[in-house]
């Protein structure tokens, strides 16, 4: 999962966010968008669209609400990792430039940060020998 977080200074009346992220489609596939506890009570409209571009896939996400977004983690982008991925392999989820608007539709200056997914294998058997002596 990759979190999407809002940190808005004094212009905290954000009502719409457009973001695009790219990721390697050979190893990652987009699964879903999950609301967080920060946005559970907010009537949040979420739209997603996928576009293939060579070896990368671009995910477009639009978040909108009639009430201002709270600060903090808004959503989580959930990805599935291919069986071909190796333990500790890293994949970048690159921000392609967000666009943020106030409730009145005014564009607010915004910037995004890239995300990183690291493959971790849980439940892997570790061979070991135990000797017990009296």
Instruction: Specify if 124 maps to a domain.
Output: no
Cα distance between residue 36 and residue 4, in whole Å: 10
Task: Look at residue 130 and tell me if it is in a domain.
Answer: no
- What is the rounded radius of gyration, in angstroms, for the C-alpha atoms of the chain? 19
Please name which of 91, 78, 94, 85 lies closest in space to residue 118, comparing C-alpha atoms. 91
For residues 122 and 53, the answer to whether their CB atoms sit within 8 Å is no
Name the domain count of the chain. 1
At residue 12 the predicted structure's pLDDT band, cuts being 50, 70 and 90, is low
| Residue in the structure block whose two tokens are 């609400």 | 65
- Domain span at residue 14 reads 2-118
29 inside domain:
yes
Q: Is residue 97 part of a domain?
A: yes
pLDDT computed for residue 125 by the predictor? 47
Is 80 exceeded by the pLDDT of residue 8? no
**5 vs 132, which has greater pLDDT?**
5
Pairwise CA distance, residues 122 & 20, whole Å: 30
* 18 sits in which H/E element: strand 14-24
What lies within 8 Å, CB to CB, of 36 at 6+ separation is 3, 72, 73, 74, 75, 76
Q: Domain holding 86: CATH number?
A: 2.60.40.680
Q: Give per-residue pLDDT as tens, 17-33.
A: 999 999 999 999 999 99
Contact yes or no for 53/133 (Cβ under 8 A) = no
Q: Tell me: the pLDDT tens digits for 74-131?
A: 999 999 999 899 988 999 999 998 999 999 999 988 888 898 889 887 765 455 445 5
Does a structural domain hold residue 113?
yes
Residue 131 lies in a domain: no
Residue with more model confidence, 100 or 10: 100
User: Residues 30-72: pLDDT tens digits?
Assistant: 999 999 988 888 889 999 999 988 889 999 999 999 999 988 8
Does 129 map to a domain? Answer: no
């Amino acid at each position: 999962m990759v979190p999407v977080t809002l940190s808005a200074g004094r212009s905290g009346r954000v009502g719409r966010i457009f973001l695009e992220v790219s990721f390697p489609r050979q190893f990652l596939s987009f699964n879903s968008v999950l609301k967080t506890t920060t946005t559970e009570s907010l009537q949040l409209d979420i739209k997603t669209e996928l576009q293939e571009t060579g070896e990368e896939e671009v995910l477009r996400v639009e978040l909108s609400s009639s009430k201002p977004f709270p600060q903090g983690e808004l959503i989580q982008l959930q990805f599935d990792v291919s069986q071909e991925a190796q333990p500790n392999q890293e994949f970048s989820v690159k921000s392609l430039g967000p666009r943020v608007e106030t409730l009145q539709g005014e564009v607010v200056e915004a910037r995004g940060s890239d995300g990183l997914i690291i493959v971790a294998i849980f439940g892997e058997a570790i061979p070991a020998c135990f000797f017990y002596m009296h």
